[in-house]
Amino acid sequence: MSQWKKAWRLLPLLAVMMLVLTGCGQDPFLSALTPRGPVAEQQFYLIKLSIYIMMGVFAVVMVIYVYVLVRFRHRPGQTGIPEQIEGSHKLEIIWTTIPLILLTILAIPTVKITFDLAEKFPTDDALQVKVIAHQFWWEYEYPDLGISAAQDLYIPTGEKVQFQLTSEDVIHSFWAPALGGKTDTNPGMVNAMWLQADDPGVYKGKCAELCGDSHTLMDFKIVAMDRPEFDAWVEKMKEPHVSSSDVAEGEQIFADSCISCHAIDATQGLDIPDFAPNLRNFGDRVVLANYFNMDDETIAEWIKNPEKMKPGNLMPGFADELDDQQLASLVDYLNTLSVK
């Protein structure tokens, strides 16, 4: 069988692979290719520039490759060894100079944008957020606003937000691709970055550094809203939660079994990293534990056996301590922890 026929057999496989890969881009807000802020837009420009350069290099290489295959192919009746060429200063200069030129073309805008983003780093009048990474969840403190939250990060649109990032255990990496590149969170260190969301919406993020058993489940959400709506959210977060008598049983179970780890006061313990996520706005979350469906059945299953759902997390299970009725009451109470 000729080499050409073997090559043609690969085409169906490549077509199937391309079809499968199209499923990797279903979420427009978990991709660096759909920028929704100035930081992401400039980084996307560099991505496009590097792709265009590589496409040009690939095209030139393929043209030369095909030319060599055709021009110097073996012909019927041809005998003997073709002329051997060894060493060419001219070619060596060409294939050394061209990559240097291409790297320079890529380096100049990269350096410019890097310094440009540094010059635009917000001053003290920007919203300050301290991000604390835990295995396997995220904590957010708003020092100027006097509140803290977990899992879902709320920010105003059209404004720069300055982040101070650290970790309580191992190295993690804070990455919301639609808003900007990743920044590592290191124990005992503080890294700084800034982001801005141009439009209201929910932007997905992930931990981008292998950090343990449930690294792939360490997602988060950035909820961007207009400034008046954000201010209203802050004021509601400051208000103490008041439960109705309908969930009194669940509230008592929470006080007996959960309050030692989970706070429900967003103004409590600022500047002190939480041992477990603050649940002040638990009922407003879109997903449970950053990843799972937010429904009563899944919440109850999480309370019974969190290790099964998210291996390596520190929360103990309550399958042996709470019966189905108690679990249902506790879930009902948790759903009332809302600021909407």
Instruction: Give percent of the chain with pLDDT exceeding 70.
Output: 94
Output the pLDDT for position 271.
Answer: 64
Do 332 and 247 touch, CB atoms closer than 8 A?
Answer: yes
Among 340, 258, 309, 305, smallest CA distance to 137 is for 309
Whole-number Cα distances in Å, 96 to 53, 100, 184? 16, 7, 35
Do 153 and 163 touch, CB atoms closer than 8 A?
Answer: no
Q: Is residue 82 left, alpha or beta, with left meaning phi > 0 and alpha meaning psi from -120 to 50?
A: beta
φ and ψ at residue 167, rounded to 5 degrees: -140, 150
* Helix, strand or coil, per DSSP, at residue 153: strand
Express each pLDDT in 278-323 by its tens digit: 888 898 888 888 888 888 899 999 998 999 899 988 888 888 888 8
The token duo for 82 is: 């073709």
Between 243 and 219, name the one with better pLDDT. Answer: 219
Please say if the pLDDT value at position 1 is more than 60.
no
Please say if the pLDDT value at position 95 is more than 90.
no
CA 3 to chain centre: 44
The token duo for 147 is: 């509140």
φ and ψ at residue 333, rounded to 5 degrees: -65, -45
The token duo for 105 is: 């073309």
Output the pLDDT for position 22.
Answer: 66
Express each pLDDT in 114-135 by its tens digit: 888 887 777 778 899 999 999 9
Among 101, 160, 108, 105, smallest CA distance to 129 is for 160
Split at pLDDT 50, 70, 90, the class of 241 is confident
Match 């301290």 to its residue by tokens: 130
The CATH homologous superfamily for domain 247-336 is Cupredoxins -  blue copper proteins (2.60.40.420)
Say what the pTM is: 0.82
